[in-house]
Chains A and B, each alone.
Chain A
Amino acid sequence: MKKMINRWLTMILLLIVSGPLLAGDMLMVRSKLPFPLALKAVQATIEARGYTVAGVENVDLGLLRMGYLSDSYKVLSFGKAKEIEALIRLYPELAPYLPLQILVFSERDDTLLVATSPAYLATLFPHTGIAAIFARWEGDLQVVLELVRDAEHHTPVEQDGSNY
Chain B
Amino acid sequence: MATYGKFVFLSLALVGALILSGCAPVAVKNMEGGEAARLYALNCAACHGAAGDGGIGVPLALQDFQSSVTDDYLFRTIRLGRPGRVMPNFSNLRDEEVQSIVRFIRGWAINPPNIVDKPVQGDPLHGKALFGAYCAECHGAGGEGGAGTGVTFSRPRDQPIMAPGLNNIGYLAAASDQVIKATLMHGRDGTPMRSFRRFRVSEQDIDDIVSYVRSFELQAARRQALPPRDARPALVFQSPHDFAKTVHKLKQAMVARNFLVIREGTLESGLVNRSRENQRQWVIYFGNLEFIDKPLRTDPRFGLFLPGRVTVVEQDGVVRVMAANPLVINALFNNDGLAAVIEELYQTYMNVLREAAT
- A residues touching B (Cβ–Cβ < 8 Å)? 5, 8-9, 12-14, 16-26, 28-30, 32, 44-45, 48-49, 52-55, 57, 59, 62-63, 66-71, 73, 75, 77, 79-81, 84-85, 88-89, 92-99, 101, 103, 105-108, 110, 112, 114-116, 120-121, 124-125, 139, 143, 146-147, 149, 151, 157-158, 161, 164
Contacts and interface: CB of A to CB of B under 8 A. Distances in A.
Nearest to A13: B10
B323 to A, nearest CB: 5
Closest 6 CB pairs of A and B: A54-B270, A124-B233, A8-B11, A48-B18, A17-B25, A14-B14
A149 B320 CA distance: 39
Contacts of A16: 26, 28
Contacts of B328: 124
Nearest to B50: A30
Per DSSP, are chain B's interface residues mostly helix, strand or loop, or mixed?
mixed
Contacts of B315: 89, 92
A9 to B, nearest CB: 5
Contact of A63 (B45, B233, B234, B289): B289
Given A21-B42, A54-B270, 4 more contacts: A14-B14, A48-B18, A49-B21, A63-B293
A70 B56 contact: no
A79 B281 CA distance: 16
Given A13-B7, A17-B25, A107-B55, A23 B92 contact: yes
Contact of B3 (A67, A92, A164): A164
B154 interface: yes
Contact of A143 (B6, B25, B26): B25
B267 A95 contact: yes
A157 B270 contact: no
Contacts of B333: 26
Contacts of B7: 5, 9, 13, 157
With most chain A CB atoms within 10 A of its CB, the pick from B14, B88, B311 is: B14
A163 B241 CA distance: 67
Interface in B263-320: 263, 267-272, 278, 281, 285, 287-289, 292-293, 296, 300-301, 303-304, 306-307, 309-311, 313, 315, 320
Chain A interface main SS type: mixed
B268 A18 contact: no
9 contacts: A13-B11, A14-B13, A18-B41, A25-B332, A53-B270, A73-B296, A79-B271, A92-B313, A149-B41
Interface of B: 3-4, 6-8, 10-15, 17-19, 21-22, 25-28, 38, 41-43, 45-47, 49-50, 55-56, 88, 92, 152-155, 233-234, 236, 262-263, 267-272, 278, 281, 285, 287-289, 292-293, 296, 300-301, 303-304, 306-307, 309-311, 313, 315, 320, 322-324, 328, 331-333
Contacts of B4: 157-158
Contact of A125 (B3, B28, B233, B323): B233
A95 B270 contact: no
A61 B141 CA distance: 37
A121 B47 CA distance: 22
Contacts of B8: 5, 9
Contacts of B293: 63, 68
B6 A96 contact: no
A22 B46 contact: yes
Nearest to A44: B18
A24 B25 contact: no
A24 B88 contact: yes
Contacts of B11: 5, 8-9, 12-13
B290 to A, nearest CB: 9
Contact of B25 (A8, A18, A71, A120): A18
Given A13-B7, A120-B332, A97 B42 contact: no
Most chain-A Cβ atoms within 10 A of its Cβ — which of B25, B292, B333? B25
Nearest to A89: B315
B233 A81 contact: no
A53 B307 CA distance: 19
B56 to A, nearest CB: 7
Given A23-B92, A62-B307, A112 B322 contact: no
A16 B38 CA distance: 10
B301 A13 contact: no
B31 to A, nearest CB: 14
B268 A147 contact: no
B17 A59 contact: no
